[in-house]
Amino acid sequence: MITEKPSATKGMSQSSRILILQSLIPIATSLTATQLEGFTLRLGEALFKLSDQSVRPEEANISFHSYNHIKKNSSAFYRLASSKLSELFAREVRILEKGHQQRQLEDDASLALVTFDEMENKVLLETLTQAVELDNADELVKLNLRISHLLKIDQMSVKTNPFRPEVFLKAIYKAWCEFEPVSDSHHLMLRIMRPEIFLQLNPILRELNNALKDRGILPKDTDLYKFNKHKQSPASASSTLSKKQTVDPFFESKIKGILYANQPTEGEQQLNPNDFGAPNSNGNGSGSNYSSNHGAANAGANPGSQSGAGTPGTITIDRAFFEYLTGIQSKTVQIGSENHNATTLRGIVDQAPVNTISQIDSNTIGLLAKIFDFVFSDPHIPADLKSLIGQLQIPTLKAALIDREFFFKQTHPARVLIDTLAKSSVTWNPDKGVDDPLYKMIAKTVERVQNEFDQQLELFTDVAADLTQFIEEEERISEKALEEPIAQAIQQEKIRQARELASNDVAARTDTGEVAGFIESFLEQQWVNILVLAHTVKEQKPQALERTLKTMDDLIWSVKPKNSVEERHELVNKLPALLSSLNTWLNAIKWEDPSRVIFFSKLAERHASIARAPLEVSARRQVELAVNVAQKASERSMQKSRMDHSIPDQFVFFIDQIERGNWFDFTRNNGSVVRFKLAWVSPRRSRFIFTNRQGHDAFSISSEELIEIFRSGRAVLISDDPVVERALQAVLDERSE
C-alpha cells in the first residue's frame, strides 16, 4: 500500500469525499446537455437514412416514424435525457458509497428473467459500450485514478466508475425507451447507434478530471503516474481500454514556460526577449506596486518586494508602469483610429519609466505582441477593422497584467472580447464601409473600452455581451429573409430523396437479372419518374406508392415465362387491368412521344410469344435461361460494387464537417472574391444555402456542386477558431521549429 503525501484529501472524512464526487454530477449533466442537440440531429439522420435504405417495409416505417417523432419533439427528449443522466449518476455514486454488496444486489436484480429481445438489446448495449470506452480511454483512465485516490480505493475498474460511458449510454437508452413507446424502435435505436453518432464523451470526462484537479485531487500528470505506478501493475492499468496518445497535452505548461521565465538555467528552455523584438529588462520594482493574486489588482501591495518574482501565484505590477500605460491609453483615444500594429506594444519596453518593468512584465508584453501580430496578419480580417482592434492593445495589456489567466483561459473577459471582435470583423461588408451598422458597433465597443477601462475586467464582459447581442439580433433578422429559399431547398431535397428511393425500388428488381431488357430500360427511364411522383406524395397519399410498386411488379411478372395453363390464364385475366394502370400512370407524367407506342408494341409481342410458347421447356433451354440470368445479375452486381467502393476524397469528408455559421470566401469567374456564410444545411446535407450577413443574396447549391467548388479551389473556409488560441499555438509552433 502506498503512503500518500499530504494532499487536499488528507484528513478528509468519507462523507466529504462523497460530496466531492456528487458535485461532479451537475457538471457531467450540464456538459452533456450542450451536446444533446447535435446528438439528436445525428440520430435523426441515421433513422431517416435507415427508412430510405431498408428493404423491410415494417422496419422502414418504424424508423421513419421515430425520425419524425424526435424531429418534432426534440425538446422533450432533451429533458428526458438530462433527467435520466442525473438520476443514473446519483444512483452510481450511491452504489459506490455503499460498496461492493450494494452493487452485487443491483447486478442480481438485473439477472431476473428477461425476454429474448431484452437480452439482444443488452448485448448491443455492451458492444457499443466497449467501442465508446476505447474512444475515450485516456481521460477515462485518468478519472479512474483520481476517483480511486479521492475515495481511498486501492484500485478502481472502469465498471465501478460512476461516470463511465456505460452510464451515459444507459441513460440515453432509457430516455429513448420512455420517449418512443414503440418497443421495436428500442432495438432499432441500438442497432444504428455508433460511437460517431453518440455523445462526444472525451471533453466531458476531461472537464470532470479538471474539476478534481482544481480540488487538488492528483493535480499533476506526474501525480497520476506515481499513483498509478503503486496502485496497479503495468498489465492492469486498464484491462479493457487501449490508451491513446493525446495531442500536445502540455500546451498550458509551454505557455507558462514562456510567460513565467526568469533567469535561464542550464537545460531549461526560457524566454528570449529577442524572440519578440523587445530588449531584456531585469529591473526590480520600486515604490508602490499593483499586486495581482489570481486576477485581483490592489494598490500599494508589498512595496518592497521584487516586481514579478516569476511565480504565478503572486504577481506584482509597478504603479508607475501601470500609470504610464494609462497615459498611453489616453493618448490613443485622442489619436483615434490611425494604423496600429504590434510595435505599439514592443515600444513600451524601451519607453517605460526606468526599472518599472519586471521580467514577467516584459514576457507578457512580448507574448501579447505576438498575439496582435497574428491578428494583424490574418488575411480574413479587413484592414480597417484591424486598426480598430489594434487600439485595444494597451487596455488588453493592462488586463493581462492584472490577470495573466488571459493566456490560459478562453473565458478571460479581455480574451473573449478580442476573440469576438476578430470573429465578427470577418463578416463586415467593406462596400458599406463605416456606414455598416457592424462597423459602428465595433467602433463603439473599442471607444468604450479605451475611455472607461482601468482595472475592472467586468467592462470587457459587458461590451462583449453587447456586441454578441447585436450580432445575434442581426442573425435573427437574417433568418426571416431565408424562409423562402429554405422552403425551395427543402422541396428540392424532397424530390432528390424521392428520386433516390425510386431508383432503389427499380434497382431492387432489375439487379436480379430476371427482368427483360426492354422492360428494364422502360423502368429506368420512364417508370422511375412515376415512382418519384409517388414517393413525393407518399405522406399525403401512401396508397399511390403501393399501387405504382404493384403495377411495376405485375409488369415484370407478366413477361416472365408461363409454363403452366394456370399461369397463362392468370396472365390473360390480369392484362386488361395492368395495361390500363400503365397508361394511367404514363399519362400522369405526360409521356406522349412515339417511343411509348413502340414500348407497348414490344410488350404485346412478348405477351403473345409467352402464350404461344410450348408448355414444356427443354432442360437445355432451362440451363441457358438460368445462365443468362446469373450472368446479367453478376454484371450488375460488379457494376454496383465498383460504385460502392469508390473512395471519396478529402473534399467529400470536408463538406460533411462544415456547419451553419461558417464563413467562406468564394472566387468568382472574373477573379473577384465574395464572402458568404453557410446559413442553412438540409437535413440530409444534400443542399446548402449561403448568404451574406443580412440574409440577402442567398443562393442554394447541391452537395455535388459544392464539393466541386472546393475541389477546384474556388472556395476557402475561414477559420472560426478563437483568434487568441490560434495565435498562441502559432507562437509554440514557431518556437518548436
pLDDT on residue 737 = 59
pLDDT on residue 641 = 54
573, pLDDT greater than 70? yes
From the candidate CATH numbers 2.10.260.10, 3.40.1350.10, 2.30.30.30, 3.30.70.20, the one assigned to the domain spanning 650-736: 2.30.30.30
pLDDT on residue 476 = 86
Beta-carbon-side half-sphere exposure of residue 277 (alpha carbons within 13 Å): 11
- Averaging pLDDT over each range in 226-230, 261-265, 603-607, which range is the top one? 603-607
Domain locations in the chain as residue ranges: 14-234, 499-615, 650-736
Please name the residues in contact with 699: beta carbons below 8 A apart, sequence gap of 6 or more.
Answer: 485, 676, 689, 690, 691
Average pLDDT over residues 551-562: 89
| Closest by Cα among 689, 497, 683 to 40 | 683
Listed in sequence order, the DSSP H helices in 453-482 are 458-481
Please give the Cα distance from 199 to 193 (Å, whole number). 11
pLDDT on residue 124 = 83
61, pLDDT greater than 80? yes
420, pLDDT greater than 70? yes
C-alpha 42: how far from its chain's center? 10
For residue range 503-547, what is the model confidence (pLDDT) as tens digits?
Answer: 889 988 888 777 888 888 899 999 999 999 999 888 888 899 999
Q: Do residues 419 and 370 touch, judged by C-beta distance below 8 A?
A: no
- Averaging pLDDT over each range in 233-247, 336-350, 498-512, 634-648, which range is the top one? 498-512
pLDDT on residue 355 = 87
pLDDT on residue 144 = 87
For residue range 359-396, what is the model confidence (pLDDT) as tens digits?
Answer: 889 899 999 999 999 999 999 999 999 999 999 999 99
Please give the Cα distance from 339 to 336 (Å, whole number). 9
Q: How confident is the model at residue 736 (pLDDT cuts 50, 70, 90)?
A: low
578, pLDDT greater than 70? yes
- Least confident piece of the model among 33-37, 308-312, 403-407: 308-312
Cα distances from 272 to residues 251, 281, 438, in angstroms, run 19, 11, 40
Burial environment of residue 11 by CB neighbours within 10 A (0 to 12, 13 to 18, 19 or more): exposed
Q: How many residues does the chain have?
A: 737
pLDDT on residue 365 = 92
Selected residue with higher pLDDT from 611 and 135? 135
pLDDT on residue 340 = 55
Q: How confident is the model at residue 237 (pLDDT cuts 50, 70, 90)?
A: very low
Q: How confident is the model at residue 565 (pLDDT cuts 50, 70, 90)?
A: confident
pLDDT on residue 480 = 80
43, pLDDT greater than 90? yes
Average confidence score pLDDT of the chain: 79
Residue written as grid cell 445462365 = 627
- Least confident piece of the model among 138-147, 231-240, 367-376, 466-475: 231-240
For residue range 650-676, what is the model confidence (pLDDT) as tens digits?
Answer: 787 788 778 889 999 999 989 889 999
pLDDT on residue 8 = 52
pLDDT on residue 217 = 82
Please give the Cα distance from 337 to 634 (Å, whole number). 73
Please give the Cα distance from 39 to 575 (Å, whole number). 51
454 SS3 class? coil
Q: Do residues 633 and 511 touch, judged by C-beta distance below 8 A?
A: yes
Q: How confident is the model at residue 576 (pLDDT cuts 50, 70, 90)?
A: very high
Average pLDDT over residues 447-476: 92
For residue range 149-205, what is the model confidence (pLDDT) as tens digits?
Answer: 888 886 677 888 999 999 999 999 999 999 998 888 888 898 899 899 999 999 999
Q: Do residues 226 and 17 touch, judged by C-beta distance below 8 A?
A: no
715 phi/psi in degrees, rounded to 5: -145, 140
Average pLDDT over residues 414-425: 95
- Least confident piece of the model among 36-40, 501-505, 648-652: 648-652
| Closest by Cα among 307, 309, 330, 332 to 320 | 307
pLDDT on residue 297 = 40
689, pLDDT greater than 90? yes
**Could you give the strand order of the β-sheet that contains 296-299, starting from the edge strand earlier in sequence?**
296-299, 289-293, 315-318
Please give the Cα distance from 472 to 660 (Å, whole number). 14
131, pLDDT greater than 90? no
598, pLDDT greater than 50? yes
Q: How confident is the model at residue 41 (pLDDT cuts 50, 70, 90)?
A: very high
Please give the Cα distance from 351 to 347 (Å, whole number). 6
| Model pTM score | 0.53
7, pLDDT greater than 70? no
715, pLDDT greater than 90? yes
Q: Is the dihedral of CA 389, 395, 398, 404 positive or negative?
A: negative
For residue range 81-114, what is the model confidence (pLDDT) as tens digits?
Answer: 999 999 999 999 888 887 654 455 444 444 444 4
Long-range CB contact pairs, 613-622, < 8 A, 24+ = 613/561, 613/562, 615/563, 615/564, 615/565, 616/563, 617/561, 617/563
311, pLDDT greater than 90? no
pLDDT on residue 123 = 78
Please give the Cα distance from 679 to 478 (Å, whole number). 9
| % of the chain with per-residue pLDDT over 90 | 35
Average pLDDT over residues 207-222: 79
pLDDT on residue 228 = 55
pLDDT on residue 233 = 38
42, pLDDT greater than 60? yes
457 phi/psi in degrees, rounded to 5: -65, -20
* Number of CB atoms found within 10 A of residue 141's CB: 21
218 SS3 class? coil
